Chains A and B, each alone.
Chain A
Amino acid sequence: MVADDAALFRGGLARLLADRGVEVTAEVGDAEALLAAVRADPPDAVIVDIRMPPTHTTEGLDAARTLATEHPAVGVLVLSAHVEPHYAVALVEADAGGAGYLLKERVADVEELTDALRRVVAGGVVVDPSVVAQLVGRRRVRNPLDTLSERERDVLAVMAEGRSNAGIGDRLHLSEKTVEAYARSAFTKLGLHAAADDNRRVLAVLAYLRS
């Protein structure tokens, strides 16, 4: 299900997804219509633009929050033109069971888009790499990230995007065991505690990066 007020973009996105074998059950132009469509026929996931009528501010985020309580099983992928960690963290905190924050232009990379969709459908979280890059790249007075090796930092960044150890391994061409080792040492150096599951681990890392 796709919700975006720009019909051209919406149509293109639906075609791209259809090409990849993703069934698009509805295309709507605003949050109201999206919620109505989900209530009528809950899909596996929705892709929603953050900024839609009537106020053109954060309707998409608000809709995602509503869905998180009404339909926790539906994955929500929010598309945004803003590299703002605040929005991304607000989203994954509200809906840790299957939510993602992607930059709009990311959809041109269809592999990445379908990968993100799969992850939110599976209940994972997705945070756009540019959002993570901004957090990791932040200038700090005494930067604890400087104590990490390059590999450890890479693992931490990809982890913050919401991937599991296996996913991190795929991305960085490492074995899962190696990833685990890097993750453990990075956590130890930063004084972070290992979290109970992947999603909480992402939140912990994001919170750490934002502090």
Chain B
Amino acid sequence: MRRWGEWFVVTAAVLAGVGAAAALVRGGYEVPVELVAPTLVLNLAVGWSFVGVGLVARRRRPASRTGLLMVLLGFAWLARFLLAVDTTPAFVAGVLLGSVSLSLFVHLLVTFPTGRTTTPAQRVLVVVGYLLSAPLDAVFLALGAQRGRGEGPPPHGLVIAPSNGGSTPEPVDLVVQAVVVVLLVALLVSVWSRWRAAGVAERRALTPGLVGGTVVVATLLVERTAILLVLPPSAGVVLAWSAQVVLVVWPVALLLGLLRSRLDRSGVGRLVVDLGDGPAEPGRLRSVVARTLHDPSAEVAYRLPGTDDYVDAAGHPVEVAPRADRAVAHLVRDGRPIAVLLHDPVLSGEPDLVEAVAAGAGLAVENERLHAQVRHQLREVRASRARLVEAADGARRAVERDLHDGAQQRLVAVGLALRLARARLGPGSPEELDALLAEAGDELAGALAELRELARGIYPPLLTDEGLGPALASLAERASLPVVLGAVPGQRPPEAVEQACYFVVSEALTNAAKHASASRVAVDVVADGDGLRVDVVDDGGGGADADGSGLRGLADRVAAVGGRFAVSSPARGGTRVTATLPCG
């Protein structure tokens, strides 16, 4: 059916060409003999080029209206040759169809490559293009203007010759030409602002058509301004010829843009090979896909099973709702969506390319999805571990504060009351009572001292108030074995790191005192890249159990802030506890 349609169009185009030739030769006007052949060759080439290439475009890109517009433009171009027939109906039809071809040109250029207007500005340009042509000409014709008819060559510059522009232009002509010039400038602005706003993939499609179109428009522009500026007619002749030459090739440029991605079909094959050999690092699939689609902004997001959430290769959440600047293609496996491809919307015009890429990436997608899922879970677990440690530290601080503001404060008040009571006893009261009160006061002082150390062990306020240096110095001062503390970096790290560092030292000192029978411990905290490294080294008996609950707890605490923890404790070789804590 479609083939028949195409044959019909081709036949019609051939007949239209033959008709045009007949009209030129036998239409009744005088055509200079030397101009017949060039005029025919060039105009038939333009008309047939648009029709032929339009048919190819229509077959290759059925979704785009560009092919249809090109075919129509080709026919309108050939139909202009009715002007060469010296009768009134033919003249009217020739004028109208000739101007329609210009409107179609505007339509094509503005809406390339989809053939559809997308913005109000584009709509205005296209509509103005149509209004300025056939309707305006119809008004002129109705007013009786049939200029150029009669003696000489066919009217309206059908045959490009110097004698055409010979007469002085009338004011109404100048106005129309000025409007046309404005339209052409607007056309160029519209087209190139679209190019500027386009992504890489879209530019690939736009560039050939826009460059060709710009050349045509620019030539027309110069030609029209030449009439406005009343330049010598010979200049106009050259320009008019060259514009027609460009028009012959322009359809091919349009087709090239339409089909450009097709040329990359081989790229899909390379995609499979590339995915096969490279190292399986996260995000590799994304970069290979982006390269194949010529869309650097392309992204692949993987669906987390059992949810509607998507993550990138590193496990970070990704928003996959379509946006104005981004289209979404779903990758489905066994009927379930497993990933989405986020790409430049212009690629939506080539669903088959996107599909081919998706299919080519299939196995790799499945593979990387599993990795992304694991990474996502890992991130969640890390975050929750950090939250747990943070919550535990928060609780410790709360307990310390409660002890300080509650029990300690009350016991101090009790001590004060005891003291007041003793003062009130006065002379003559039994000495026994005074001694009892004094004893109670001493006991209370002991309880307070114990409570103070307990609260301090739970959480040292000095750490929050003054930072790691003073807090570690205080630990060293009260340790039950000699501690040599190196200079601590003055800049305060994030709280979680500060606390991890403090508790590593605190626990390691306790271990050294309790189990290692060490005679001294060296504590060093040094800046390590962006983070801190803390070493606690004793000269004790070694043999510490890294899986014991104390060291295990430290390892967890360090891991919670993304750090590394190591214990080296050879028998009789002392113990070294090292933690590396990133501050980023």
Give me the interface of A with B, judged by CB distance under 8 Å. Answer: 6, 8-9, 12-13, 15-16, 19, 51, 56-58, 81-87, 104-105, 107-110, 130, 134-135, 138-141, 143, 210
Contacts and interface: CB of A to CB of B under 8 A. Distances in A.
A32 B507 CA distance: 39
A139 B520 CA distance: 9
B417 A12 contact: yes
B71 to A, nearest CB: 80
Interface centre among A15, A57, A82, A135 (most CB of B within 10 A): A82
Interface stretch (B380-388, B469-477, B488-496): B469-477
Given A86-B466, A108-B415, A140 B452 contact: no
B474 A6 contact: no
Nearest to A20: B423
Contact of A108 (B419, B456, B461): B419
A35 B415 CA distance: 28
A134 B477 contact: yes
B413 A8 contact: yes
B146 interface: no
Interface in B445-479: 445, 448-449, 452, 455-456, 461-462, 464-466, 470, 473-474, 476-479
Given A57-B461, A84-B462, A86-B474, A12 B408 contact: no
B454 to A, nearest CB: 12
A84 B465 CA distance: 12
Contact of B412 (A9, A51, A58, A143): A9
17 contacts: A9-B416, A16-B419, A16-B420, A16-B423, A56-B401, A57-B461, A57-B465, A81-B452, A84-B470, A84-B474, A86-B466, A107-B416, A107-B419, A108-B445, A139-B482, A139-B483, A143-B482
Nearest to A56: B401
Interface string B416-428: 1111100100000
Interface residues of B, number: 42
B375 interface: no
A210 B461 contact: no
Contacts of A107: 412, 415-416, 419
B481 interface: yes
Interface in B346-377: none
Contacts of A56: 401, 405
Contacts of A135: 477
B445 to A, nearest CB: 6
Contacts of A85: 474, 477
B415 A141 contact: no
A40 to B, nearest CB: 27
A13 B520 contact: no
A83 B465 contact: no
B480 interface: yes
Nearest 8 CB-CB pairings of A with B: A108-B415, A12-B416, A86-B470, A139-B482, A141-B482, A108-B419, A104-B412, A57-B465
Contacts of B461: 51, 57, 82
A141 B484 contact: yes
Contacts of A110: 419, 423
Contact of B404 (A51, A143, A210): A51
Interface string B168-196: 00000000000000000000000000000
B560 to A, nearest CB: 25
A105 B423 contact: no
B404 A12 contact: no
Interface in B514-560: 519-520
